Amino acid sequence: MFRALVVEDQTLMRLALMNEVQASFEKCVVLGAETLNIATVELQNSHFDLVVIDPGLPGFDPTSQGDRVAVVDRIIEASPSAIHIVVTGSDNRCEANGFRRIGAAAYLGKTGLAPGVFSDVLDDISTKGFSLRLSRAVMTKPDYRFSVLTPREQEAIDMMAHRAPGVKRKEIFSRMADRLAIDAGSAEKYYKQARAKLMRQGHPLPQGL
């Protein structure tokens, strides 16, 4: 079974990254660690195939390049056979190149990361050897969350509401099917169920629905 470790001190971000990793693999177990000490213990006790690292961990100065390199270097040394992905909110190309030299396989800026990103990043790594995605503000519409929807219905609404101009609904259903490991007909069903629920509840529909 595929094993992954997410090393991130911010709880909500750690849980979000863990969910994204979990969604990228059919059979996997994902652990989360808030500190380098916890991560080190887990790496000593178990084998991991993937390690996601935020270099600005507690006990280190997140503005110090030396400290950030030390965090990543210690984790890579403790798990030499794993794929290492650095995820940071203060990203730059120079730092990405430095982490690549010490063994990181990918470097991602947090701003602009979208659902499904880890599947795309792993594809980049397998074909190019390294994946670089710097932060960029890409949002043109707000996010919505509706308590009346199931997780899959919410995902259907999200993907449809954020589709680019000119993208047909059938294409979104196909992407949704790939992401959720279902067929396109089922993806369309979830979308229609979600839309009907929102209309019955009297919620204004997000633009694009």
20, 49, 85, 130 from 44: Cα distances, Å = 24, 13, 19, 26
**For residues 73 and 102, is the Cβ–Cβ distance under 8 A?**
yes
Closest CA to 7 of 59, 57, 49, 41: 57
Question: Domains of the chain: which residue ranges?
Answer: 2-133, 151-201
**For residues 83 and 122, is the Cβ–Cβ distance under 8 A?**
yes
Which residues, in sequence order, are bridge partners of residue 3?
Answer: 29
- State pLDDT tens for residues 122-156: 999 999 999 999 988 777 778 888 888 998 889 88
Averaged pLDDT of the chain: 91
DSSP string of 106-127?
EEEESTT--TTHHHHHHHHHHH
Query: How is residue 21 written in tokens?
Result: 């990793």
Q: What's the rounded Cα separation, in Å, for the pair 8 and 50?
A: 14
CATH class (in words) of the domain with range 2-133: alpha beta
**Amino acid 162: pLDDT:** 82
**Amino acid 21: pLDDT:** 93
- State pLDDT tens for residues 40-76: 999 999 999 999 999 999 999 999 999 999 999 999 9
DSSP code at position 203: P
Query: How is residue 15 written in tokens?
Result: 């849980």
Residue type, 34: E
Global pTM? 0.78
Which of helix, strand or coil describes residue 148? coil
**Amino acid 87: pLDDT:** 97
